[in-house]
Amino acid sequence: MSRPGPLFVAIDTQEVDRARALIAAVGTHAGGVKLGLEYFVARGPEGVRAVMQPDVPLFLDLKFHDIPNTVAGAVRSALALRPAFMTIHAAGGRTMMRAAADAARGSGCRLLAVTVLTSLDDADLASVGQSGPSLDQVRRLAALARESGADGIVCAPSEVAAIRAEVGPDFTLMVPGIRPVWAAAGDQKRAMPPKEAVAAGADHIVVGRPITGAADPAEAARRIMAEIEG
C-alpha cells in the first residue's frame, strides 16, 4: 500500500451502518479513517472488519496502556485487523513501548505513542501532578517513544514544529485537535487549522466532527483537502 494521504477521518460512532456509510463517503478524499474506542468497544474486531474497505488505510486508535506483556499481546491481537497505524500510551514507559514495538515489528503497522491528549491543557496537567508546560512533557515522551522503538507519536498541532525539529523527517507525527476555521472547537483545547498543522510538519491530521457531523461529509473532507493543498 502506498503512503496514506494527510487526512484521517475519525469515525466516532457505535453504529455499523453509520460507520460504513461515512467510510464510503470520505474514502475518496481522505488518506484513511480512524476507528477508536467508542466504535471498538461497541462492535469489536468483527465490527471493524464489517466496515473497512480494502483500499482505505485504518488508523486503529485504542491507546493501549498496561503492563508490557498485556500490551504486547493486545498489539499482536490487533494486527489481525491489518491497521496502517495503531496507538499505545507513551506514559506506559520504555519497557511497555519496547514490548509493543517488538510485537508490531515486521507487520507493516506503524506504532504511534500518544503523548498528551489534545483535550488537556497546562492546568489539567498540573491537576494530576505534571508540572511545567505541556510541550515539555510532549518532548520527553517523544524522545522516550523514539528510543523505545515506536514509529511516531500523536501530539497536538501547537507542538508539531518544535517536535519535528527535534525528531527529524522519519518519525511520524499524527496530529488530532484539528479544527478548520469554519468549525467549532468542541472539546479541543490545543487546536489548529489543517493547513497550518501540515505546514508545521504534521505527516497526518485527524478530523472528526467537522466532517462526520456535516450535512455532506464527503464535501467537508474534500474542502479540508483543498485547504491543505491550496
CB 23 within 8 A of CB 51: yes
Q: What's the Rg (C-alpha) of the chain?
A: 17
- Are 167 and 142 in contact by the 8 Å Cβ rule? The answer is yes
Distances, alpha carbon 213 to alpha carbons 6, 16, 41, in Å: 20, 16, 21
- H/E segment holding residue 63: strand 58-64
State the CB neighbour count (10 A cutoff) for residue 66.
14
Cβ atoms < 10 Å from Cβ of 49: 12
Asked about 63 being catalytic, the answer comes back as yes
The helix (run of H) or strand (run of E) holding residue 88 is strand 85-89
The stretches of the chain forming alpha helices (DSSP H) are: 16-26, 37-51, 68-78, 94-104, 122-127, 134-147, 160-167, 194-200, 209-212, 217-229
By CB neighbour count within 10 A (0-12 exposed, 13-18 middle, 19+ buried), where does 105 fall?
A: exposed
Q: Which residue in 34, 63, 189, 195 is the catalytic one?
A: 63
Active-site residues, by number, are 63
